[in-house]
Amino acid sequence: MSKAIRIFETGGPDVLRWRDVDVAAPGRGEVRLRQTAVGLNYIDVYHRGGLYPLAELPAVIGMEGAGVVEGLGPEVTGFEVGQRVAYAGLPPGAYAQERLIPAHRLVALPDGIDDRQAAAMMLKGMTAHYLIRRTYRVQKGDTILVHAAAGGVGSILCQWAKHLGATVIGTVGSDEKADLAGANGCDHAIVYSRENFPERVSEITAGGGVAAVYDSVGRATFEGSLDCLRPLGVMVSFGNASGPVAAVDPAVLGAKGSLFLTRPTLMTYTAKRQDLVAAAEELFDVVLSGQVKIAIHQTYPLAEAAQAHHDLEARKTKGSTVLIP
C-alpha cells in the first residue's frame, strides 16, 4: 500500500502523520503519478496551520513534486506511461508516494533536469518567474529589494534578476545566509537582525529608493518595505512567513509616493495551461543555460516532513529543500 503525510486537523508540525493511503485508478483527465521527489514550501506551513484553509480534512498537503507517470485516465493526451513529469500549484497532495493529479497541471521534464532538481525549482522557480517577468517586469538598470534572499524563492529570484541586469539588494538573517545570497547574485546583503533595512536601502540607493520590493516575509517587513520604494514603486507582497499583513490604508500609498501594492499568487499566473507551460519553459531555459543554478541544501525522508517543517519555521534551512518519498 502507498503512504502519504496526512493532516486530520490544522496545527503545528506534529499534525503531520505518515499513513497508509489508497490511490485509485485515474479518472477522466487525470494521471496517476509515482513521485520521486517533493518540494518543501512555506505555503505547506500555511495549509498545515490553517492560515490558507484546505477544502476539507483529512488532507494531504504539498504543492510541488516530480515523478513518473504510472497510469492515464480517459481523455488524457500529451503524456505517456513512464514519462518524467513535474508540477507546482493546486490541487495540493504532493506529500505522498503516489497521487492522482489533473493532467493539465503537469509539464514534461527535459533530460537535463533531474527529478530532485525539478522538485526543488518548479514552484519556487515559477514564482520567481511571474514576480520578475510579469508582476513587476525587471529591466536592466533597475534596483530591487528581495526579502529572504537566501531562501528558496529568493535564491532563484536574485540570480535571475542579476542575469537581467538589475542591482539586487537582499535581506537575510545571518552572515552565513548573506554569503549565500551574495553567491546567488545579491549585490548588497542586509542582515536584518543587526541592521535597519530601510536605512541601509536609502544609503545604497543614495535616497532614491528601489523600483520594486519582493516581500515574502509579511507582517515584520511590510511597513519598512514601503519606505524603501521610489515614487511610483511597486510593493509585491507574496508571502506571510512572519504573519499576515495588517489592513492597509490606501492613502498611505499615496503619501509615500503614489506606490503600487499587489498580492499575487502563482495559481493565478499559471491558471491557464498556456501560461503554465510558458513559465515552465522559460524556467527550464535559464536553468539549462546555467544562468540560474538550483542548489538543494537539505533533503529529508518524506516520512520526516514534521522535522522539515520545524527547521523551515525556525529558519534553519537555506535555499531549496526536497522531501524523498
DSSP letters along 216-259, please? SS-TTTHHHHHTTEEEEEEEEE---TT-PPPP--HHHHHHTTS-
Residue 241, pLDDT score = 82
Give residue 290's pLDDT band: very low, low, confident or very high (50, 70, 90): very high
pLDDT mean over 111-127: 96
Distances (CA, A) of 109 to 115, 117, 300: 8, 10, 23
C-alpha grid cell, residue 238: 507574496
Question: 271 by DSSP, 3-state: which?
Answer: coil
Q: What is the predicted pLDDT for the residue at 139?
A: 96
Please determine, for residue 116, whether its predicted confidence score (pLDDT) is greater than 90. yes
Mean per-residue pLDDT, 254-283: 97
The answer to whether residues 245 and 218 touch, using CB atoms and an 8 Å cutoff, is yes
The CATH-assigned architecture of domain 2-122+275-324 is: Alpha-Beta Complex (3.90)
Which of 140, 123, 66, 110 shows the shortest CA–CA distance to 239?
Answer: 123
19 confidence band (pLDDT: 50, 70, 90): very high
- What CA–CA distance (Å, rounded) separates 155 from 266? 17
pTM (two decimals): 0.91
pLDDT at 242 over 90: no
Burial-class residue 287 by CB neighbours within 10 Å (0-12, 13-18, 19+).
Answer: buried
Residue 240 has pLDDT above 90, yes or no: no
The confidence score (pLDDT) of residue 289 equals 96
Range list for CATH 3.40.50.720 in the chain: 140-263
276 pLDDT tier (thresholds 50, 70, 90): very high
pLDDT at position 1 is 87
Give ranges for CATH 3.90.180.10 in the chain. 2-122+275-324
Long-range contacts of 292-295 (CB under 8 A, 24+ apart): 292/125, 292/156, 292/159, 292/160, 292/163, 293/159, 293/184, 294/117, 294/120, 294/121, 294/125, 294/156, 294/320, 295/155, 295/319, 295/320
What's residue 244's pLDDT?
85
pLDDT of residue 319: 80
Q: Which pLDDT belongs to residue 243?
A: 85
Architecture field, domain 140-263:
3-Layer(aba) Sandwich (3.40)
Choice between 241 and 299, residue whose per-residue pLDDT is larger: 299
